[in-house]
Amino acid sequence: MPKITALTAQKGNKDRINVFVDDEFFCGISLDSAVRFRVVADKEMTDEELSLLLAESGENELYVRALDYILKSPRTEREITRYLYRRDASPETATRIIKRLKTMNYINDEAYAKMFAEQKSGKLGISKIRTKLFGRGIDLNLIEQSLDIVEDETQEDLARRVADKFLRNRERDHITMQKLYRHLATKGFDFDLCGKIVEEFKKQDEEKMEEYMDKWQEYRRAKDEAKQKKAELRELRRKLMEDE
């Protein structure tokens, strides 16, 4: 019967060991797996036990890689599942790894959705946030719960900033305002909010135009008055010269 003849620590990874069977390298496993499978030196193993140990070795490696992937940036359950499938994990293996990661709270779609909504609420509209979360596999109920933290006032302020940036150095005619509406919509803002912001900027332009016209008329009046005074002075000068 095959026997475990040696166990050695892996270089660069203190949490894994190399298993030697009949004086030949057999596989590498985690210390956790070694404890669960009661892997000790001089222990005889059946072919079935060795097969399970070998399967555990590959699964654990995938688990470590998935964990590294998560630690680089938070991921959803769907993202990790796709990651595992791209590395040829079977559905059964992927399910077990996902379960381990969820147990350790490395995967938490509810927390992910809230964090994402908080981070993006100052950059994107609610519809865009909802679409992105849905694309990452977040449950619809969790999406709506996460969006409850996004205040309407914050969205309005953001929409105004986006609109102001879009209109900068653009002529604010009817066509530009139509483009502004579409631009806001593509950023994920609610259609009613898009219309409200466009109307606000239209009103601002109208008020600026009225203010401009008032100043222009005031300027024209002042210019006409100056012209009239000059004419009166010329007339007065002419009369004085005649009297001389």
Per-residue pLDDT reduced to its tens digit, 144-193: 888 887 665 577 777 888 888 888 888 778 788 888 888 888 877 888 88
First to last CA, the chain: 143
Of 111, 40, 56, the residue nearest 64 (C-alpha): 56
What single letter denotes the amino acid at residue 212?
Y
Confidence (pLDDT) at 214: 54
CA atoms within 13 A on the CB side of 129: 27
Residue 2: DSSP 8-state: -
Q: What is the pLDDT of residue 83?
A: 94
**What's the confidence (pLDDT) of residue 107?**
95
Residue 180 CA to residue 210 CA, distance in Å, equals 22
| Residue in the structure block whose two tokens are 């002042």 | 222
The tokens of 80 are what? 């990790």
Q: What is the pLDDT of residue 26?
A: 82
Beta strands in the chain (DSSP E): 4-10, 13-21, 24-30
Sign of the alpha-carbon dihedral angle for 123, 128, 131, 135? negative
- pLDDT of 244 reads 58
Structure tokens, 33? 């797996």
Residues forming a β-bridge with 8: 18
Low-confidence ranges of the chain (pLDDT < 50): none
Q: What angle do CA 223, 226, 227 make, to 5 degrees?
A: 85
Q: What is the pLDDT of residue 68?
A: 92
Residue with tokens 């222009």: 216
- The C-alpha torsion from 59 through 61 and 63 to 65, rounded to 10°, is -140
Which letter does DSSP use for residue 6 in this model?
Answer: E
Handedness of CA 75, 77, 79, 84 (dihedral sign): positive
Q: Are strands 24-30 and 13-21 parallel, antiparallel or unpaired?
A: antiparallel
| pLDDT at site 213 | 62
